Amino acid sequence: MTNIEFVYFDLDDTLLDHTHAEEKALESLCEDSAAHFGDSAFPLVLSTYQKINPTVWHKYSLGEYTKEQAKVGRFEQLLEACFPEGLSRAKALAESYLARYADFWQPIDGAFEAFTSTAASLPVGILTNGFSEQQRAKLKKFPHLEHVSSAIVISEEVGYLKPNIKLFEHAASKVNIQNSSILYVGDSFRSDVEGGVGAGWHVAWYSDQETDLPNVWSFTDWNAFTETIEGIVHRP
């Protein structure tokens, strides 16, 4: 990995703690009005949502669901599972969830510091799946991320979602760097590791799982990540 010229970072659960915001937003919804989910307690609502949402996003990434079907459909499925009598409120609930979700965005410990120190050595960017308005709002809340970035790539604005290689190729051509000289930093095996490898990028996988895939290394410690980047940049 001697020829890295650009580092793209994933946003959710890599730089920003999406999982925390998702849990707190659902908890807030449950606490606000018990009528939303009938007698279903928060742990059941959360575990049900966490089963439904990845499948919805998978279908959205394959083009099987529209954005609206993804955004509202996950709450239709959640209500069907937890409180079918409330099904007519799925759309309102979906909007309310997103508003609450935004209240709980916060950085992953150590990630912003690593992002900033990487940016001192190499040009960086952000490559993220997600609804454009949410991802833009996250960047607005943490303006340093966009300020330091040379490129922001949001799947919905391009028309392909990770792990579609076309999204990675779009991101590479946007910064005019060849695929084999880009490092991607992300937490998802399917979206980030498989997508990045498929595009011919190097991948730093933010995970406690091991991998022997070529051009992929995993890490959980952002200080170790920063040291690896410094090793690449300052290698004689």
Is 8 strand, coil or helix?
Answer: strand
Q: Are the C-beta atoms of residues 90 and 72 closer than 8 Å to each other?
A: yes
Q: Backbone dihedral region of 90: left (phi > 0), alpha (psi from -120 to 50 degrees) or beta?
A: alpha
CB of residue 138 to Mg ion, shortest distance in Å: 12
**Of 36 and 74, which CB lies nearer to Mg ion in the complex structure?**
74
> Any bridge partners for residue 182, and if so which?
6
**Of 15 and 90, which CB lies nearer to Mg ion in the complex structure?**
15
Which residues in this chain contact Mg ion in the complex, by CB under 5 A? 10, 12-13, 187-188
**Of 15 and 52, which CB lies nearer to Mg ion in the complex structure?**
15
**Of 79 and 183, which CB lies nearer to Mg ion in the complex structure?**
183
CB of residue 44 to Mg ion, shortest distance in Å: 25
**Of 12 and 156, which CB lies nearer to Mg ion in the complex structure?**
12
DSSP 194: I
CB of residue 110 to Mg ion, shortest distance in Å: 16
CB of residue 8 to Mg ion, shortest distance in Å: 12
CB of residue 218 to Mg ion, shortest distance in Å: 14
DSSP 108: P
User: Angle at which helices 90-103 and 132-141 pack, to 10 degrees?
Assistant: 20
CB of residue 63 to Mg ion, shortest distance in Å: 20
* Alpha-carbon span 128 to 126, nearest angstrom: 6
Residues 6+ apart with CB under 8 A from 51: none
**Of 86 and 196, which CB lies nearer to Mg ion in the complex structure?**
196
* Alpha-carbon span 38 to 189, nearest angstrom: 35
Torsion of CA 137, 179, 118, 206, to 10 degrees: 70
Count CB neighbours of 185 within 10 A: 28
Closest CA to 45 of 56, 63, 31: 31
